[in-house]
Amino acid sequence: MKMFIHEIKENENVDSSFLVKEKTSGLAKTGNAFLKLKLGDRSGEIEGRIWTSADALAQSFERDDFVRVRGKAVSFQERLQINIAHIERMGEEEIDASDFFRKTERDVEEMLKSLVDIAEQVKTPCLNRLLHLFWEDGAFVDRFKTAPASKSVHHSYLGGLLEHTLSLAQLVSRNAGHYQGLNQDLLLAGSILHDLGKIDELSYRRSIDYSDEGRLLGHIILGLERIEDKIRQIPDFPRDLAMVVKHLILSHHGQDIWGSPKKPMTLEAVMLHYLDDLDAKINGIQQFLKDHLPEGAKWSAYHRIFEQSFYAPTSWEPLELPDKIAKTELEGTE
């Protein structure tokens, strides 16, 4: 069974699987070579050192490999590290990815099914066709089920993109009829397509980071390319419709300073922007609170991107009034 890094205690024996995040060699005072590793799993990172047969062992695995490690946890300069007695490479099939990477807590296949179901609400033929072309694209679906929705701000875990897309599509489905005159099919299709460029913007095989394309072009452009590519496969897809679909993607960040080259100019684009922003922000805060709201505290740590702290008292009992107030109230209203 996997022993997680945050469970390791001083002077204990360690026998578990880890991901090799860094691998460097050094010279000990004795003049012998040693290996310095940064090992990681879902729960954190720990240093590991190989003092014996370092040169030989160094050949047997590389950075980004999974390894089985046996050794002992010792304290060095107030931090734990593992003196490694034995190390060997593991195949990816031997490990459980969720031990190593943050993943959505929801079932991916169920989420995908729910999203496809919502997509079926889209009745405009060519829009419905457009969505189908994506579901039929196996390579796309594989990445779409795995990708996170951002590097760190919100839904930044495997499956996060799907989770965010589904949540937004649900919000859109539930509220699209609240205002008259909006094209609900357009809005739904937009919600499903809006962030799909993130499957290319980010790289997420070992850790979540931006790809070269992601940094140089960004997910809005990368998403437009994928959509353009599908539209080209639909004969006589109306140019005007393609234009407003692309405008939804292009403008969903709302403003140039948030990365949208165009502000939302249609009612659908305005609504999509607000609901997308709402979903990203709420998830971003909730994800942040999980890690940065100390046990029992009312205030989170400072969130550097949102430039503020959040107030989240864990219990809301004060909201309950004592009995006598409740009575006064009931009398008062009658």
Cross-strand bridge partners of residue 286 = none
Residue 83 dihedral angles phi and psi, to the nearest 5°: -80, 110
> Which runs of E-coded beta strand occur in the chain?
13-27, 33-41, 44-50, 66-76, 79-90, 202-203, 209-210
Q: How far is the CB of 40 from a copy of itself (least distance, A)?
A: 20
Cross-strand bridge partners of residue 303 = 308
For the stretch 191-208, what's the b/e string if a residue is b when 16 or more beta carbons lie within 10 angstroms of its beta carbon? bbbbbbbbbbbbbbebeb
Closest by Cα among 194, 109, 181, 93 to 145: 109
Q: How far is the CB of 327 from a copy of itself (least distance, A)?
A: 9
- The backbone region for 181, taken as left when phi is positive above 0, alpha when psi lies in -120 to 50, beta otherwise, is left
Q: Given the complex with a copy of itself, which of 68 and 140 has the nearer CB atom?
A: 140
Residue 51 in contact with residue 28, Cβ under 8 Å?
A: yes
Q: How far is the CB of 108 from a copy of itself (least distance, A)?
A: 19
CA dist 145 and 215 (Å) reads 22
Q: Given the complex with a copy of itself, which of 97 and 216 has the nearer CB atom?
A: 216
Q: How far is the CB of 129 from a copy of itself (least distance, A)?
A: 4
First to last CA, the chain: 63
Q: How far is the CB of 302 from a copy of itself (least distance, A)?
A: 12
Q: Given the complex with a copy of itself, which of 159 and 254 has the nearer CB atom?
A: 254
Instruction: Count Cβ atoms below 10 Å from residue 212 Cβ, excluding itself.
Output: 8
CA dist 181 and 183 (Å) reads 6
Q: Given the complex with a copy of itself, which of 19 and 186 has the nearer CB atom?
A: 186
Q: How far is the CB of 183 from a copy of itself (least distance, A)?
A: 6
**Does an H or E element contain 191, and which?**
helix 184-193
**Does an H or E element contain 250, and which?**
helix 239-251
Tokens 């033929």: give the residue.
Answer: 125
Q: How far is the CB of 239 from a copy of itself (least distance, A)?
A: 8
Q: Given the complex with a copy of itself, which of 68 and 132 has the nearer CB atom?
A: 132
Residue 242 in contact with residue 233, Cβ under 8 Å?
A: no
Q: Given the complex with a copy of itself, which of 26 and 44 has the nearer CB atom?
A: 26
Q: Given the complex with a copy of itself, which of 146 and 283 has the nearer CB atom?
A: 283
Q: Given the complex with a copy of itself, which of 91 and 181 has the nearer CB atom?
A: 181
Q: How far is the CB of 242 from a copy of itself (least distance, A)?
A: 10
